[in-house]
Structure formats: C-alpha cells, structure tokens
Amino acid sequence: MSAISLKNLDISYGTTKVVTGATIEVAAGESFALVGESGSGKSTILKAIAGLAPDWTGEITVLGEKRGHSVDHGFATRCQMVFQDPYGSLHPRKTVDAALSEPLQIHGIANRDARVLEMLAAVGLDQRFRFRYPHQLSGGQRQRVAIARALMLEPKVMLLDEPTSALDVSVQAEILNLLKKLRREQGLTYLMVTHNLPVVSFMCDRMAVMNKGRIVEIAPATALHDGSFTDPYTRSLYAASGGNPDRKDTAE
C-alpha cells in the first residue's frame, strides 16, 4: 500500500499556480525526497498534504484515506510535519512538557506523563528538559523537541521540511541520524523536502526532482552515486553539486 499518493496535484496561492500536475507514490516505510531549487514548489506540496495550503485540485491520499480541504483532526494521528525552523515552531511561553502534552490533551489521550517521558527519551533528551522553555534550549535540542511533538500521536507518516537546514553542520548530522533511527525503530514513512543532495543520499530511497512547479524526474537515490539521471535539469543539478554526492557530513 502507498503511504502517500498524489495524483495530478495543482496548488495555487491566489491566482498564482505554484505546483502543476504533481504525481507521486510513496510506499509505506519509504523515505522519499522532493528536491530542487528554492521556489520550485517542494515545500508547498508538504503544506498541501498537511492542510496548510488548501487551494489545490487533484487527489491527495495518506494511508488509504483521501485528504479533504477542510480541517480533519483524525489526520493528525496519521501524519505530522516537522518544520525547518526549530526557533519558530515552538511556542516561546510554553514549556517542553506543555508542547508535548498539548496533542494528547486535544485528542483525549491519557497517560500523558509516561508518553512525554517516552518521547523525550526517543529523541535523546532526558527528563531534565521537560520543564524548560524554548529559549533555554539549543537549536538542536529544539528540533528534537519538535520531532518528539510530531511523534506524540504515533503517526506513521512524517513530512520533513528542510529539518536540518537552520542548524549548525555538526548538529545537522545528529538530527539526521536521529531521524534515520526513528524511521527504523517506529516503521515511519518520510516525505522530505531538501535542496541538499548529500542528505538525500544518506536519508532517502528515492527522489522526485522539481523545476518551476513540476516534477521533471523520479529516480532512485542510488543515481546520486552514478549520475544515471535522464532529465537535463536534473543532470544540471547533479553537476552543480560537484557530481560527488558521496561526500556527506553524516555517519551512523
């Protein structure tokens, strides 16, 4: 079964069409990347899936359920999003405990204390961080909290919008390794937006390349090792990366 299915997806902001005819199938348990230059429509696709860009036509299906245009609280238990900026994604006046407990309160889930401690441990934070505020955390710690919050409702699909680009290089490696570990341990499916081809090589099974709102090629991540791309734009991106995507800052 496909975890994410997009068919002929068009997305607009007002009168401006940002994505045209996007069609992809992401298998359950797969890590799939959307890559391309800034403004190519990558993040807009994630926002449409998450319900943050409601002006779209076509079909969005997540874990067999078609996505509507209205608010769907049940969707949060199936799919969650981790944003690029760990500084902006957490409420500055809420403790880590409050941020992690809130999804459980909204959905009426009990055993909140145990669940909060479990998720903190899963992202590599001990209980000392539970009652701290975002300003008391480093960028990497904030992103770990954001990942923990996304996992509180035990979704099986995660949308990752440049989850490490706002972090220092050494911290990027830690977060990427954490995401890879969580995918393996919890059977997660990832749809990741990134402009960083080495990250795709490290994290993903396949990739869709976007140019000016259209998907121009879908290829296995192994193509980053041998350059076996067919579309001219994709080949130019590969060449611009130095044609050496094996260089990466990450290690298991």
Please check whether residues 139 and 178 belong to one and the same domain: no
CATH code for the domain in which residue 159 is found: 3.40.50.300
pLDDT in tens, 55-90: 999 999 999 999 988 778 889 999 999 998 878 889
Tell me the mean pLDDT in the region 10-39.
96
Please check whether residues 61 and 183 belong to one and the same domain: yes
Instruction: Look at residue 56 and tell me if it is in a domain.
Output: yes
Q: Give the position of tokens 């890590």.
A: 31
Please check whether residues 183 and 96 belong to one and the same domain: no
Contact 209, 180 (CB under 8 A): no
Listed residues 101, 124, 154: the one ending a domain: 154
251 pLDDT tier (thresholds 50, 70, 90): very low
pLDDT in tens, 91-141: 999 999 999 999 999 999 999 999 999 999 999 999 999 999 999 999 999
Please check whether residues 148 and 69 belong to one and the same domain: no
Please check whether residues 24 and 48 belong to one and the same domain: yes
Question: Mean pLDDT in the chain?
Answer: 92
Chain-centre distance of CA 221, in angstroms? 17
What is the per-residue pLDDT for 42?
Answer: 96
What is the per-residue pLDDT for 174?
Answer: 94
Cα–Cα dist 81/158, whole Å = 6
**Token duo for residue 1:** 């079964």
Entry pTM = 0.92
Please check whether residues 220 and 244 belong to one and the same domain: yes
pLDDT in tens, 164-198: 988 888 899 999 999 999 999 999 999 999 988 99
Q: Which domain holds residue 108?
A: 91-154
Number of domains in the chain: 2
Instruction: Look at residue 177 and tell me if it is in a domain.
Output: yes
Q: How many CB atoms sit inside 10 A of residue 49's CB? A: 23
Instruction: Look at residue 144 and tell me if it is in a domain.
Output: yes
Check residue 243 and give left, alpha or beta (phi > 0: left; psi -120 to 50: alpha): left
Instruction: Look at residue 84 and tell me if it is in a domain.
Output: no
Please check whether residues 31 and 121 belong to one and the same domain: no
Please check whether residues 171 and 242 belong to one and the same domain: yes
> In whole angstroms, how large is the CA radius of gyration of the chain?
18
